[in-house]
């Protein structure tokens, strides 16, 4: 008939984790789903790989341009890393014109609701509690579609993406201060969360199951204020 069969290039996932054990694990999990994987051990290496260099360095060397050789379909990153945290990496990706549409997933061994929400609000697609399982990686498929976003669930996500974007614009300069949210802001966050949960297909059930599996973790999903205090008192949430 004259149709040429184009072989699908495997989807490319960039995995970021400072622990070599966890890198090996996430790589194996991703490869089970036939993704092509690049694993790096820091946020700065991730940005380098994505072609996003230091603004200062760039201005001295060359005008910014993403690495044309590399196409990354998703970034999955650990939250707690020395130097640049996963959250900071997420922010940099979402602030970049060329990279902001790459879906980002955060992994963390700490179950801190404020942290989870902060990441989701900054644009993370999913937040996985470690240890990450096959069932978690199975949830990534919808975010890795190379095709035009035409499905219903993605349409539903668009409006919450917009409200998420507005929220981000308004809260661009907030960092750790977010954790000390006033009641008004708390309400906004609650409403935004509700919007995202209602309109997007976020798998709260499996997250709850995951929480059950992690019942030996020191911080269960409890009252926000307790967790906020705990993470503030001991360390700013950015440094794990």
The residue ranges that bind other proteins (CB under 8 A) are: 19-22, 24-25, 28-29, 32, 80, 109, 130-131, 133-134, 213, 216-218, 230, 233-235, 239-240
Contacts of 235 (CB under 8 A, 6+ apart): none
Whether a cis peptide bond, with omega within 30° of 0, leads into 131 is yes
Report in angstroms how near the CB of residue 42 gets to other proteins at its nearest: 15
Rg of the chain on CA atoms, in Å: 18
Alpha carbon distance 32, 30 (integer Å): 5
Alpha carbon distance 70, 76 (integer Å): 16
- Residue 32 or 162 having the CB closest to other proteins: 32
Residue among 42, 15, 165, 189 at smallest CA distance from 115: 189
- Residue 32 or 172 having the CB closest to other proteins: 32
- Residue 22 or 88 having the CB closest to other proteins: 22
- Residue 145 or 230 having the CB closest to other proteins: 230
Report in angstroms how near the CB of residue 22 gets to other proteins at its nearest: 6
Report in angstroms how near the CB of residue 170 gets to other proteins at its nearest: 32
- Residue 29 or 157 having the CB closest to other proteins: 29
Report in angstroms how near the CB of residue 107 gets to other proteins at its nearest: 10
Residue among 129, 155, 131, 153 at smallest CA distance from 142: 153
Report in angstroms how near the CB of residue 158 gets to other proteins at its nearest: 35
The encoded tokens of residue 111 equal: 């179950």
């Amino acid at each position: 008939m004259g149709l040429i069969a184009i072989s699908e290039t495997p989807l490319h996932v960039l995995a970021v984790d400072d622990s070599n054990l966890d890198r090996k694990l996430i790589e194996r999990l991703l490869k089970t789903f036939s993704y092509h994987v690049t694993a790096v051990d820091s946020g700065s290496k991730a940005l380098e790989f994505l072609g996003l260099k230091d603004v200062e360095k760039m201005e001295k060397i060359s005008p910014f341009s993403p690495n044309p050789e590399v196409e990354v379909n998703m970034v999955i990153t650990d939250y707690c890393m020395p130097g640049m945290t996963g959250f900071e990496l997420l922010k940099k990706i979402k602030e970049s014109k060329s990279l902001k549409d790459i879906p980002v997933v955060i992994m963390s061994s700490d179950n801190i609701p404020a942290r989870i929400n902060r990441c989701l609000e900054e644009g993370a697609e999913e937040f996985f509690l470690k240890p990450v399982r096959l069932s978690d990686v199975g949830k990534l498929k919808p975010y890795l579609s190379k095709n035009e976003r035409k499905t219903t669930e993605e349409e539903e996500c668009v409006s919450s993406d917009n409200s998420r974007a507005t929220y981000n614009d308004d809260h661009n300069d907030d960092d750790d201060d977010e954790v000390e949210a006033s009641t008004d802001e708390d309400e906004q966050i609650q409403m935004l969360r509700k919007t995202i949960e209602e309109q997007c297909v976020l798998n709260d059930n499996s997250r709850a199951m995951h929480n059950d599996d992690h019942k030996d973790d020191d911080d269960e999903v409890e009252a926000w204020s307790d967790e906020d205090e705990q993470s503030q008192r001991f360390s700013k949430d950015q440094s794990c």
